[in-house]
Structure 1
Amino acid sequence: MNRRIALRHLALISGGLALIPSCDFSSDDILAAYENLKVTTSQKQLLGAISDSIIPAGELKGALELEVPDFILVMVNDCMTAENQVLFSTGLAAFPAYAKNTVGKKFDQLSSREKEDLIQGGIDLQPAETPEGEKDRAISYFLNTTKKLTMQGYMASEYIQTEIIPYSLIPGPYNGAALISENQKPRING
Structure 2
Amino acid sequence: MNRRSALKNLSLVLGTSALPSWAYQWNQHSFAASQGPNTELLGAVVNAIIPETDSPGAKTIGAHLYIERMVKDCMSKEDQQAFQNGLQKLASAAMKNYQKAFPMLSSQEQISLLTNLQNSTLPEENQFFKRLKGLTVASYTSSEYFLTQHRNYTMAPGFYHGCVPVQ
Fold match (TM-score > 0.5): yes
**Which position in structure 1 is the counterpart of 2:89?**
94
Question: Structure 1 residues 113 and 90, CA, compared in 2 at 3 Å: closer, same or farther?
Answer: same
SS at match of 1:65: helix
Deviation per CA, 1:61-106: give whole Å up to 9, x if none: 1111100001001111111122111101111122211122344543
SS at match of 2:43: helix
Q: Is the 8 A contact 1:91 1:140 kept in 2?
A: no
Give the count of matched residue pairs. Answer: 127
State whether structure 2 residue 141 is matched by structure 1 residue 155: yes
List gaps (5 residues or longer) in structure 2.
1-32, 160-167
List gaps (5 residues or longer) in structure 1.
1-31, 128-135, 173-190
State whether structure 2 residue 162 is matched by structure 1 residue 170: no
Higher Rg of the two aligned structures? 1
Query: What is the aligned counterpart of 2:60 among 60, 65, 68?
Result: 65
Query: What is the aligned counterpart of 1:118 among 113, 133, 136?
Result: 113
Instruction: Calculate the TM-score normalised by the size of structure 1.
Output: 0.59
Q: Is the 8 A contact 2:90 2:113 kept in 1?
A: no
**Which position in structure 2 is the counterpart of 1:18?**
none
Alpha-carbon distance in 2 for matches of 1:96, 1:155: 26
**What code does the residue aligned with 2:137 have?**
M
Q: Is the 8 A contact 1:77 1:85 kept in 2?
A: yes
- Report the structure, 1 or 2, having the larger helix content: 2
Summarize the alignment of residues 1-190 of structure 1 with structure 2, pairs less than 5 Å apart: 33=34, 39-40=36-37, 43-127=38-122, 137=124, 139-168=125-154, 169-170=156-157
SS at match of 1:64: helix
Alpha-carbon distance in 1 for matches of 2:153, 2:143: 11
**What code does the residue aligned with 2:130 have?**
N
Alpha-carbon distance in 1 for matches of 2:104, 2:88: 18
